[in-house]
Structure 1
Amino acid sequence: MVVSFGLSFSVLAVLLDRPALVFGTVGVACWSLVRSVSFASELRRQVEETTVIQTPARDSVRTNTSLSVSVDVEGPRDTRLDLSVESRPPLSSRGASAAARTATLGADEATAATTYSVTIPTAGTASFRHPVLESTDELGLFTGRWVGDDEPTVTVTQRTPRNVHVGRGGQMAQTRYGNQQAERNTSGQATAEIREYTTGDSLRHVDWNATARFNYPHVREYENEADRKVVIFIDRRPSVGNGRPGETQFAYLREVALALVEEANERSDSIALYAVGRDGITARYPFRSTPTHYAAIRETLYSLDPEGSEGGVGGERSEERAATERMSGSVASRRRRTLRGDDSAFATRLRPFLTNATGAGANATPLRSTVERGLTRHTENVSAVVLTSDAHRHEVRDCVRHASQQATWANAFLAPRVLFDPTDLTDLDETYGRYVSFERFRRKLGAYPRVSAFEVGPGDMLETVLSSAREARV
């Protein structure tokens, strides 16, 4: 505006042949220069003395749960500049407009604050972006913009299912995941020595016979065993997407996987992870036993959802897609047979597309392929864990059989669909029949050498199914 005003004086001086008006242009330019120098000086002081703090109400929050954020601004006193500060939450956040996230300091104000709320739909570590500060002089002629230093983070976790049941035939498992194999390894170790208990020794190494004999706690030390390794294969195809939001089959399987990671962390065991989708491996971590490795696997597990689902719901869409894939595969197979022996240009052009059709060229058993691949290089002292549903029983049976042959021990955790379909409660007799069918399948898996098979699901739903059967027998 100042430049336009000065140019107007210059144009008038030429048009009216009045050179004196040029002095007006010079005056405006000088005034503008003084104002700009003063603004630059004030801006420099404001940049150096302004503090912005973005404070989330919690360090950890569930996905799609409201998170309150406060913004506190403290600027220099006795300044002639107005200041606005826009807090910038993580890119994936939702819910607060720019105006709601902006705190404003007038020229006569030294502090300002505002509070807003956002939701974050994606699990993981969410980082707030640097706040944007903008200063303006009292006439609105000059503006300066810069970014602050504050960049807090929050940990966003998935909604976790309640009443998680892990067991066999309706009975809860008596040991924590993997403890059976740990106990088996310990009992087979050679004893190095028996010594007096000292502070810090693990209670599980206390030798109670020696303690009773010497009337003082003693521990049994073992020779160092080879590093234990645990490899987790978790299925995230649409077939594990049945259930309510936050309580899908995958959500329950993820709880088991997280428990395994925590146990490996406590024991400093090496752990590897393979997440499997329709087209194969979607996430992979090699064997490692570092804190950052455990944390990375946990974060990845929290960030995963069943493929083809929205917010964890994917039951009907999953079945429709599976039916479509089966049908397209059979149609492609028939058409390949029809083209067999046809040497025409049309058949030659069409044949490659039928070969690559879903169910023909595509990997129809991605979980089995991943288990075979993951256990190819590592078989010594490896415990394999397969987390999936009972939707693809032949594939699951092949996975467990291969794991029992290649791994030291194998655990299969299955989330039966019958426990995740609320419509099944309308006919409890049929529901119980489906559960019995699943239980037979689980027992067959558990009959393989060095294999334990468990059911995973909502305990209240399982109790409803089993209690209805008990009442019917009475």
Structure 2
Amino acid sequence: MQATRRYWEMAALAGFLATFGVAIDSSVFLLGGVAAAAWLLAAQYRFYVGVRDVRSSLDVTLSPLRTQVGAEEPFSVRLTASASLSTPCSVTITPDSPVGIDDPDGWPAVSLTPDSDSATHVGTFRAPIAGEFSFDAPDVRVEDDFGLFTESFTQGGGFDIRVEPRASDKLFVGKGGMEISAGFGEHESGQRGPGVGAADLREYMPGDDISRIDWKATARLNKPHIREHDVETTREVGLIVDERSSMWDGPAGRRKIDFVREVALAFANSAATMSDPLGLYTVSEDDVQSVRASQAADVQYATIRSLFSAVGGSAMTTRSGGDDSRLSVPERANDLRTSLDGDSSVYARTLRPYFQTMHPYVEKVESSPFFTATRRVIADRSENLWLVFFTDDTHREELLESAKFASNRGVQLLVFVAPTTFFESESTPEQSYDAYLDFESFRKRLDRLTNVSAMELSPKDKRETLLRGSQPVRNRQGGNR
């Protein structure tokens, strides 16, 4: 229970009357002060009883009309409330939308009074970015009819809503200025044989299964023909999501991690559709924070989807990967440095300074959490692993060495990198453009690695604004030379 300003004003008046009555020896003022104080105590007790009755009788239900919607798609939430108000007071119920959910219409306060003890309201919300969002129980505020006291608490329950990714006009994913529009996570087997998708037609060969003969083509071509099909295969998908502090740059709902969540959810959904084994590894500041080893099970897909709604939350049980006998480039450099110890030849004396300088760098890269996660996924991999990185360009050398490690092991790697310059607000257009050119140079460096494809992941509006304004900037710079 909280007293309002009006209560303290009346309490001060009661105290003044009582004190003034004592000072001038006037029973009228004294009794007036005592009566005002007694009335305030009575009002306080009445409000206490009223709040107790409200808590016991208030029924609040907050529920969505649909529990699964698409990004940018409006959805409705219904609030119903009813209570038996035994004392004169007003009850105001206000739901609070979670961060990342827009309330374009503005949710009005739903009020109950002794004359109107039930109410229903339907509000409209929208989620710009995919993910899972939790609406908490609505806030309730009780106020007495004199405006002397208030009480605030939550009542009822909340709910979760899943916002699925879809083609978004706010998200650019591509390379070299070319945006990709195909579904993330889709893949072909690259193999031919009996299957479900028609691929090619060839003549019948002795030993072929007769059941595979395409009789229509045979009749048309006057020779037995076999129609090859794409073989259905599964591909293990390993997602490594960077959730370190730099991934939280940007405004609420449009941070790097929000855009990453949308694309990563698309991969999770695609893996579930194609029954591909799916694993999730998240990277914190100091360690591999959360590990879900690859599985092809409904509970696995559901768990990984829910984890994306709480990136940076509690870690799941971590299991360590096995040893890998093949060495990365830094590991080979470290072994070479060790092999030079005690060697007094001209060759050793020439190379030793270079490896001594490299040694701290090798240790730093190998101890980094992102590199650790990469090694763990590859150590646990199957024969057909598709590794996917979600990160930004803050830790470039670490990312580059992790990509090289995967490339040297023949792993197919897809890297989504968010340029930091699009999530900063203090840079000038010239600075932002120079930073973007530097990022693009780094992305191309990643993309040139064998078996590696590096994609830019950025807010489309900022990207278009920067590139559209870059031509006048370059012209002005050229004119000043």
Q: TM-score, normalised by structure 1?
A: 0.54
* SS state at 1:278 partner: coil
Alignment of 1:242-391 (within 5 A): 242-304=249-311, 365-391=368-394
1:403 to 402, 406, 415: 406
1:439 partnered with 2:446: no
Alignment of 1:34-433 (within 5 A): 54-60=61-67, 69-71=78-80, 112-113=118-119, 124=132, 126=134, 153-155=159-161, 163-173=170-180, 175-179=182-186, 182-183=187-188, 186-187=189-190, 189-192=191-194, 205-207=197-199, 213=217, 220-223=228-231, 225=233, 227-304=234-311, 365-406=368-409, 408-427=411-430, 430-433=431-434
Shift in Å at residue 177 of structure 1? 2.9
* Equivalent residue letter for 1:288: Q
Shift in Å at residue 386 of structure 1? 0.9
Shift in Å at residue 467 of structure 1? 2.9
Q: Is the Cα contact below 8 Å between 2:198 and 2:230 reproduced in 1?
A: no
* SS state at 1:383 partner: strand
Shift in Å at residue 469 of structure 1? 3.7
Q: Is the Cα contact below 8 Å between 2:288 and 2:372 reproduced in 1?
A: no
Shift in Å at residue 127 of structure 1? 8.3
CA distance change for structure 1 residues 292 and 215 in 2, over 3 Å: closer, same or farther? Answer: farther
Q: Hey, what's the Cα distance between the residues in 2 that align with 1:58 and 1:455?
A: 36
Q: Is the Cα contact below 8 Å between 1:71 and 1:87 reproduced in 2?
A: no
CA distance change for structure 1 residues 162 and 424 in 2, over 3 Å: closer, same or farther? Answer: farther
Q: Hey, what's the Cα distance between the residues in 2 that align with 1:281 and 1:420?
A: 25
Q: Hey, what's the Cα distance between the residues in 2 that align with 1:303 and 1:223?
A: 37
- Offset from partner CA, 1:266-296 (integer Å, 9 cap, x none): 2111110011110212222121222332222
- Of 277-286 and 51-60, deviating more is 51-60
CA distance change for structure 1 residues 269 and 105 in 2, over 3 Å: closer, same or farther? Answer: farther
* Equivalent residue letter for 1:452: S
Q: Hey, what's the Cα distance between the residues in 2 that align with 1:408 and 1:397?
A: 15
Q: Hey, what's the Cα distance between the residues in 1 that align with 2:306 and 2:163?
A: 8
Q: Structure 1 unaligned runs (5+)?
A: 1-46, 76-80, 95-99, 130-147, 194-200, 308-359
CA distance change for structure 1 residues 231 and 59 in 2, over 3 Å: closer, same or farther? Answer: same
* Equivalent residue letter for 1:284: V
1:354 matched residue in structure 2: none
Shift in Å at residue 234 of structure 1? 0.7
1:21 matched residue in structure 2: none
* Equivalent residue letter for 2:160: V
2:40 matched residue in structure 1: none
Shift in Å at residue 397 of structure 1? 0.5
* Equivalent residue letter for 1:238: S
1:12 matched residue in structure 2: none
Q: Hey, what's the Cα distance between the residues in 2 that align with 1:370 and 1:297?
A: 17
Q: Hey, what's the Cα distance between the residues in 1 that align with 2:161 and 2:403?
A: 35
Q: Hey, what's the Cα distance between the residues in 1 that align with 2:310 and 2:372?
A: 23
Q: Hey, what's the Cα distance between the residues in 2 that align with 1:407 and 1:379?
A: 12
1:450 partnered with 2:451: yes
Q: Is the Cα contact below 8 Å between 2:238 and 2:280 reproduced in 1?
A: yes
- Offset from partner CA, 1:166-185 (integer Å, 9 cap, x none): 11122113643344xx23xx
* SS state at 1:243 partner: coil
Q: Hey, what's the Cα distance between the residues in 1 that align with 2:163 and 2:287?
A: 25
Q: Hey, what's the Cα distance between the residues in 1 that align with 2:299 and 2:279?
A: 13
Shift in Å at residue 385 of structure 1? 0.7
CA distance change for structure 1 residues 440 and 118 in 2, over 3 Å: closer, same or farther? Answer: closer
Q: Is the Cα contact below 8 Å between 1:54 and 1:87 reproduced in 2?
A: no
CA distance change for structure 1 residues 152 and 305 in 2, over 3 Å: closer, same or farther? Answer: closer
- For this pair of structures, how many residues does the alignment match? 327
* SS state at 2:268 partner: helix
Shift in Å at residue 303 of structure 1? 1.8
Q: Hey, what's the Cα distance between the residues in 1 that align with 2:192 and 2:160?
A: 46
- Offset from partner CA, 1:333-355 (integer Å, 9 cap, x none): xxxxxxxxxxxxxxxxxxxxxxx
- Offset from partner CA, 1:203-237 (integer Å, 9 cap, x none): xx134767995799x97445554x31000001011
Percent of aligned pairs with the same residue? 22
Shift in Å at residue 433 of structure 1? 2.2
Shift in Å at residue 470 of structure 1? 3.8
* SS state at 1:460 partner: helix
1:5 matched residue in structure 2: none
Shift in Å at residue 421 of structure 1? 1.9
2:106 matched residue in structure 1: none
Q: TM-score, normalised by structure 2?
A: 0.54
* SS state at 1:423 partner: coil
Q: Hey, what's the Cα distance between the residues in 2 that align with 1:102 and 1:163?
A: 37
CA distance change for structure 1 residues 52 and 412 in 2, over 3 Å: closer, same or farther? Answer: same
